[in-house]
Amino acid sequence: MLFGKNPKATLIRIAVLVTVCWVVFSFVLLPIRVTGISMLPTYPNQSLNLVNRLAYFWHEPQRGDVVSIRLTGLHGLFMKRIIGLPGETVAFVNGRVLINGKILDEPYEKLSCDWNSPPVTLAADEYYFVGDNRSMPQEDHAQGVKKRIYIVGKVLL
């Protein structure tokens, strides 16, 4: 009764479904759990999200994309927002992000901050990333420049 009138067809369907799920969750969608408050209020602590590893197969990351970045080893992934693109100069002045000397409009950044950092000019293959929770002390916040090869994919949801 569990397999219906055609058990062979049901078993084939189950095998295909298991194979497709294994391929998708092993090679395309990577689960990532937020640990910490650096992405508040957009992504709460301990929330589970999926990273689309094929998102940047046809185009490069854009400003404002939330991405997974490989910082350390195979399992050391961070979830951060891209604010600086290759060739741009990024700086923090009194809590505001300046891109090439112009203030960046950040609708996702809802918490005030007082960060200051000198301008950093990005190379042709570098991106500047930072979390959304800028109310944290700047020295406690993982941010900075990473090469394109360290971006694993785009966060979904």
Q: What is the pLDDT of residues 39-88, one digit of tens each?
A: 888 889 999 999 999 999 999 999 999 999 987 766 678 899 999 999 99
Name the residues annotated as catalytic: 38, 80
User: Is 79 a domain residue?
Assistant: yes
User: Is 94 a domain residue?
Assistant: yes
Token representation of residue 79: 């979830």
Give the mean model confidence (pLDDT) for residues 32-44.
87
* CATH code, domain carrying 77: 2.10.109.10
User: Is 17 a domain residue?
Assistant: no
Nearest by Cα to 83 from 123, 132, 39: 132
User: Is 146 a domain residue?
Assistant: yes
Name the residue type at position 59.
H
Whose structure tokens read 């203030």?
Answer: 103
Q: Is residue 7's pLDDT more than 80?
A: yes
More confident site: 107 or 14: 14
Nearest by Cα to 44 from 79, 82, 84: 79
pTM of the model: 0.84
* Exposed/middle/buried for residue 94 (C-beta within 10 Å: 0-12, 13-18, 19+): exposed
Please tell me the predicted confidence (pLDDT) of residue 1. Answer: 53
User: Is 4 a domain residue?
Assistant: no
Provide the residue range defining the domain that includes 125.
30-156
For residue range 105-122, list pLDDT tens digits in order.
888 777 778 889 999 999
Q: Is residue 10's pLDDT more than 60?
A: yes
Q: For residue 51, which phi and psi values (nearest 5 degrees)?
A: -110, 125
Our count of domains for the chain comes to 1
